[in-house]
């Protein structure tokens, strides 16, 4: 998994694009605060980081594509989040100081329970018979879905 | 927090946490975690709330718990009071009709005492700002004075709908389905500082 943070260039991550193409599962929910920065979980996709030093003019400074993320916790300058079964930690101070390297990111594999397949279904399917999809493929994990209309949604692809 | 267990990780090496303790919990599926004071956790489940103490060596022990009807229930707390919202909707398996704000006196942690029970339409998130409690509900955001054991409704901001909210100093950060807004809600007037979302996101 690559972590995308802007260097000189601006990442091609525009919330407009995300919303237009992936409306089916966008859920902005969990929020964290680190110093003057606001962190927002884009459910299953990643984490937006906004410079919030001017609350009337917040600016997104980075997007961390972390497939499967649903919640965040911030402790001693580090961001901790889940990525499906993995625990991911990100050194936020490195991002703030613009000295981010691959060492600033770590993925600890298989720390959490396997998510149930139904947890990753789009909301409109969660309480239908599709809920009963067999979940016995020990080596498989749901990473997205294809809607009946043909729309394909892969979790975590919003940085494409 | 897993479905029915809580794991404790050491952050001695910040980017390489390791598990040091695990406790299984009784009752419903665990949902929310609220760190409280120096060494306590308030854990909301679909059937109740558990108060846990963290030892210096990282072990968790249960101090007390309260049980309620089956529903979703975020929690926040101040020095003496704990606030839980109960919501029943399609997100909560098997939830019964239950939409309430519950207040507990937790001066004595081993014996939480319910002091108020207010019916509120589909409450979602809640946030504390000093002696003010904000509750996001079906039609907007309610503001309560929680100085005393019974919350007093101060204002009802019907325009402010959101999924969840947190307090950030003087302002509130609200998340909606497709936007994030920062708001100062005071004396019945909500001032939107900024709204990040479709068409409005400033990119550096």
pLDDT in tens for each of the 204 residues of chain B? 888 899 999 999 998 998 999 999 887 888 888 889 999 999 988 888 999 999 999 999 999 999 876 666 788 999 999 999 888 765 555 555 578 899 999 999 999 999 999 999 888 889 999 899 999 888 889 999 999 999 999 999 987 877 778 888 889 998 877 678 899 998 899 999 988 764 333 332
Q: What is the pLDDT of residues A63-116, one digit of tens each?
A: 888 888 888 999 899 999 998 888 999 999 998 888 888 888 899 888 887 776
What does the DSSP assignment read for B9-75?
A: EE-SSTTS-EEEEEEE--SS-EEEEEEETTTEEEEEESSEEEEEEE-TTS-EEEEEEEE-SSSB--E
A19 and B196 in contact by Cβ < 8 A? no
**For residue A50, what are the β-bridge partners?**
A38, A60
The helix/strand count (H/E) of chain B reads as 0, 19
A-B Cβ pairs (cutoff 8 Å, strict): 101
Top-confidence residue, B201 or A33: A33
Name the DSSP letter for residue A148: T
Question: For residue A10, what pLDDT is reported?
Answer: 30
Over residues A129-155, the pLDDT tens digits come to 544 555 555 656 666 666 667 666 666
Distance, in Å, from the CA atom of A154 to the CA atom of A46, rounded to the nearest integer, reads 12
Interface of B with A (CB under 8 A): 2-3, 9, 11, 14-17, 19, 90, 163-164, 166, 168, 171, 173, 175-180, 182, 193-194, 196-199, 201-204
The residue in chain B having the minimum alpha-carbon distance to the alpha carbon of residue A42 is: B178
Percent of chain A with pLDDT over 70: 54
In the numeric block, which tokens belong to residue B134? 């904000």
The mean pLDDT value for A50-58 works out to 88
Asked casually if ipTM beats, i.e. exceeds, 0.90, the reply is no
Model confidence, pTM: 0.80
To test the contact with chain A by mutation, choose from B172, B194, B199 the residue with the greatest count of A C-beta atoms within 10 A, namely B194
B89 contacts in A (CB within 8 Å)? none
Task: Please report the pLDDT score of residue A71 as a whole number.
Answer: 87
How crowded is residue A94: how many other Cβ atoms within 10 Å of its Cβ?
Answer: 17
The angle at the Cα of A113, spanning A34 to A153, to the nearest 5 degrees, equals 75
What pLDDT shows up at residue A47? 86
Contact B168 A40 (CB under 8 A): no
What's the pLDDT at A49? 86
Alpha-carbon distance values, B190 to A57, A90, B159, B177 (Å): 18, 35, 9, 19
List of residues 6+ apart from B152 with CB closer than 8 A = B144, B145, B146
**Greater pLDDT, A3 or B177:** B177
Distance from CA of B32 to the nearest CA of A (A): 10
Give the pLDDT confidence score for residue B91 in this predicted structure. Answer: 53
Does the structure show a pLDDT above 60 at A159?
Answer: no
Question: How confident is the model at residue B67, as a pLDDT?
Answer: 84
State how far residue A114 is from chain B, nearest Cα, in angstroms. 10
- A31 and B199 in contact by Cβ < 8 A? no
3 state DSSP class of A104? helix
Question: Alpha helices, DSSP H only, in B88-172?
Answer: none
A72 Rama sector, left if φ>0, alpha if ψ -120 to 50, beta otherwise: beta
Element (H, E) at A95: helix A92-96
A89/B178 Cβ within 8 A: no
The first and second tokens of residue A60, run together, are 């997104």
Give residue A126's pLDDT.
55
Q: Find the residue in A nearest to B34 (Cα).
A: A73
Judged on CB neighbours under 10 Å (0-12, 13-18, 19+), B114 is middle
Q: How many CA atoms lie within 13 A of B71 on its CB side?
A: 22
Does A128 score more than 60 pLDDT?
no
Q: How much is the average pLDDT of A111-126?
A: 67
């Amino acid at each position: 998994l690559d972590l995308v943070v802007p260097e000189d260039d601006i990442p091609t991550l525009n919330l407009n694009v995300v919303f237009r193409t992936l409306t089916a599962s966008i859920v902005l929910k969990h929020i964290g605060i680190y110093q003057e920065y606001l962190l927002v979980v884009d459910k299953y996709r990643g984490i937006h980081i906004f410079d919030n030093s001017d609350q009337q003019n917040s600016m997104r400074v980075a997007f961390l594509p972390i497939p499967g993320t649903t919640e965040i916790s911030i402790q001693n300058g580090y961001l901790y989040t889940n990525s499906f079964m993995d625990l991911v930690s990100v050194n936020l101070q490195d991002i703030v100081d613009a000295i981010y390297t691959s060492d600033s990111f770590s993925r600890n594999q298989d720390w959490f329970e396997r998510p149930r397949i139904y947890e990753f279904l789009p909301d409109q399917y969660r309480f239908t018979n599709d809920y009963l999809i067999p979940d016995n493929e020990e080596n498989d994990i749901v990473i997205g879905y294809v809607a009946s209309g043909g729309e394909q949604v892969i979790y975590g692809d919003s940085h494409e | 927090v897993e479905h029915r267990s809580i794991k404790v990780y050491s952050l001695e090496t910040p980017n390489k946490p390791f598990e040091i303790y695990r406790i299984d919990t009784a009752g419903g599926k665990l949902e929310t975690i609220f760190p409280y004071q120096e060494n306590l956790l308030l854990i909301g489940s679909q059937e109740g709330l558990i108060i846990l103490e963290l030892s210096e060596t990282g072990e968790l022990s249960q101090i007390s718990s309260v049980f309620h009807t089956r529903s979703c229930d975020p929690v926040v707390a101040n020095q003496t009071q704990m606030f839980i919202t109960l919501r029943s909707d399609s997100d909560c398996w098997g939830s019964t009709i239950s939409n309430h704000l519950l207040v507990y006196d937790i001066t004595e942690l081993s014996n939480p005492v319910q002091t108020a029970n207010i019916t509120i339409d589909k409450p979602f998130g809640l946030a504390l700002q000093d002696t003010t409690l904000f509750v996001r509900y079906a039609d907007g955001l309610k503001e309560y004075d929680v100085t005393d054991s019974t919350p007093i409704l101060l204002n009802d901001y019907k325009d402010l709908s959101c999924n969840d909210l947190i307090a950030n100093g003087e302002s509130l950060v609200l998340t909606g389905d497709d936007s994030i807004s920062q708001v100062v809600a005071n004396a019945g007037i909500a001032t939107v500082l900024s709204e990040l979302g479709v068409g409005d996101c400033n990119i550096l």
